């Protein structure tokens, strides 16, 4: 469990590497880890809204939900609370696996729908439908963890060709023994092509 969290924190630090985007606020063997992510999302009327997301990963995370605090100078306290509730609802669908990056991507893609329909009742089906359209048509990002890499040069060349063929942008990240591939592009293109042969590399 602790190893999963350590790898997730390394990955998050590599992804949110812009000025002030990422900060670990506290780390404890008994209380878990608290960190802050600064990101932006499109709100109502496509307004660009900065979000300050504070996550608390308890020691038994990801078997339990993270604590989440949402702040933004562009949102009311009630709106921040609604965003937090929606993030926790989404987190429940991701239990037992690292989820923070997925949650940040989800709020970036869905904030406008949450703010349009803050009520949790009758509009939820419409909101889900609108959200899925945005997700299908928009930019997708995936982070993959590789167990090993025997021939680094050959593997990097294969990944570059794979990304180029599928019109994806991406980055290979080496952090000690942790190897990550970050890919971004059209949802339908984020897949392993049949021509991609990983045997021996």
Question: pLDDT tens, 60-119?
Answer: 999 999 999 999 999 999 999 999 999 999 999 999 999 999 999 999 999 998 987 544
Four-point Cα dihedral 124, 108, 35, 52, nearest 10: -90
Q: Give me the domain span that covers residue 184.
A: 139-189
Same domain for 153 and 103, yes or no, is no
The answer to whether the beta carbons of residues 81 and 117 sit under 8 Å apart is no
Same domain for 160 and 100, yes or no, is no
- Rg (C-alpha) for the chain, rounded Å, is 18
Number of structural domains found in the chain: 2
Distances in Å between the Cα of 7 and the Cα atoms of 49, 143, 180 are 29, 12, 10
Same domain for 63 and 41, yes or no, is yes
Same domain for 50 and 121, yes or no, is yes
pTM reported for the whole predicted model:
0.58
Q: Which residues on neighbouring strands pair with residue 33, listed in sequence order?
A: 27, 57
Same domain for 38 and 16, yes or no, is yes
């Amino acid at each position: 469990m602790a190893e999963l969290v350590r790898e997730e924190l390394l990955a998050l630090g590599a992804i949110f590497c812009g000025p002030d985007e990422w900060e670990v606020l506290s780390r404890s063997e008994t209380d878990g880890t608290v960190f802050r992510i600064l990101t932006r999302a499109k709100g109502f009327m496509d307004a660009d809204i900065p979000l300050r997301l504070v996550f608390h990963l308890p020691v038994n995370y990801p078997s339990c939900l993270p604590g989440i605090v949402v702040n933004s100078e562009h949102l009311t306290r009630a709106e921040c609370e609604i965003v937090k509730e929606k993030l926790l609802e989404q987190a429940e669908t991701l239990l037992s696996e690292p989820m923070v990056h997925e949650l940040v991507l989800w709020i970036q893609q869905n904030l406008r729908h949450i703010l349009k329909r803050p009520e949790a009742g009758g509009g939820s089906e419409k909101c889900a439908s609108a959200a899925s359209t945005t997700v299908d048509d928009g930019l997708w990002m995936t982070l993959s963890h590789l167990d090993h890499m025997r021939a680094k040069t050959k593997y990097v060349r294969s990944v570059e060709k794979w990304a180029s063929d599928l019109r994806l942008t991406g980055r290979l990240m080496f952090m000690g023994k942790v190897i990550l591939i970050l890919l971004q592009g059209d949802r339908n293109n984020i897949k392993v092509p049949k021509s991609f042969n990983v045997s021996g590399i």
